């Protein structure tokens, strides 16, 4: 029992820590403030516990279930349970944030959602350390939402095969450049280093949004390219 409690304590604490960063990002969104820049500013020169960086949701097999188990007994949810349930609620809201940005971009450029092709990059539930595990993947959850709202959802992951992406439900193309050229919006949903790829910067015929969920790109460099709109947690190009 003590070993299981240690595991639940560690994973719930991590989820709560990430939830604080993500709630801060959702607050920053009200003012169109890049949450990564905000948190870097809060951490700079302050040697106490660092605020973690935000993300488009918190996925995986453990962090999505352990805070709920931490908050429960054999009879159901504990009456005094607060933090674990709250962190799950916040991180689930953060997982929907890329879709909220997509809707905002759709309105901005006057392209209806149901005419959009969306490219999802980073389908594994995390990029670092590298894994092909899609259990609790934010990208897969988002796919199920997008399939009902947009014209087409293309998937690309540097280490997951096209056959597996097809089995999950994504459309696929032979290479990343073709996927980018076909898309109105690119949603980067994990932090694998190979997601940082120059092909993503292809100049669009009209308008394209890059949602950089883990702040892997330089916002200013993206915004220099005609037709590219940069988005991350809290921010969308004006």
- What is the rounded average pLDDT of the residues 225-234? 98
- Whether residue 7 lies in the annotated active site: yes
Q: pLDDT tens digits, residue range 150-205?
A: 999 999 999 999 999 999 999 999 999 999 999 999 999 999 999 888 999 999 99
Does the structure show a pLDDT above 70 at 50? yes
Residues 6+ apart with CB under 8 A from 185: 102, 105, 116, 118, 119, 208, 209, 210, 211
Answer positive or negative: Cα dihedral of 131, 215, 108, 22. positive
Domains and CATH numbers, the chain: 2-90 (1.10.1040.10), 96-236 (3.40.50.720)
Specify the pTM. 0.95
Q: pLDDT tens digits, residue range 141-153?
A: 999 999 999 999 9
Cis ω before 129 (30° cut-off from 0): yes
Give the span between the Cα atoms of 95 and 130, in whole angstroms. 20
- CB count within 10 Å of CB 122 equals 27
Q: pLDDT tens digits, residue range 27-40?
A: 999 999 999 999 99
What are phi and psi for residue 63, nearest 5 degrees? -70, -20
76 token code pair: 């159901």
- CB count within 10 Å of CB 17 equals 16
214: nearest Cα among 237, 193, 185: 193
Q: Which is the catalytic residue, given 50, 62, 194, 238?
A: 62
pLDDT grade, residue 1 (50/70/90)?
A: low
Contact of 58 with 15, CB cutoff 8 Å = yes
Cα–Cα distances (Å) from 182 to 61, 83, 159, 177, in that order, read: 32, 42, 21, 9
């Amino acid at each position: 029992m003590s070993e299981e409690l240690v595991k639940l304590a560690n994973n719930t604490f991590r989820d709560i820590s990430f939830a604080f960063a993500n709630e801060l990002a959702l607050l920053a969104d009200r003012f169109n403030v890049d949450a990564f820049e905000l948190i870097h500013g809060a951490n700079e020169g302050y040697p106490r516990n660092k605020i973690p960086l935000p993300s488009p949701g918190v996925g995986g097999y453990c962090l999505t279930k352990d805070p709920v188990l931490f908050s429960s007994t054999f009879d159901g949810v504990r009456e005094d349970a607060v933090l674990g349930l709250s962190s799950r609620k916040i991180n689930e809201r953060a997982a929907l944030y890329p879709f909220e940005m997509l809707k905002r971009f759709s309105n901005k450029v006057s392209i209806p959602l149901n005419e959009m092709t969306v490219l999802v990059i980073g389908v594994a539930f995390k990029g670092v350390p590298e894994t092909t595990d899609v259990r609790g993947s934010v990208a897969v959850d988002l796919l199920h939402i997008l399939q009902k709202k947009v014209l087409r959802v293309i998937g690309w992951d540097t280490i997951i095969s096209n056959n597996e992406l097809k089995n999950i439900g994504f459309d696929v193309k032979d290479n990343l450049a073709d996927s980018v050229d076909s898309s109105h919006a690119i949603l980067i949903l994990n932090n694998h280093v190979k997601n940082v790829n120059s092909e993503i910067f292809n100049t669009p015929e009209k308008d394209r949004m890059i949602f950089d969920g883990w702040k892997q790109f330089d916002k200013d460099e993206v915004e220099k390219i005609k037709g590219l709109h940069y988005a991350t947690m809290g921010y969308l190009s004006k």
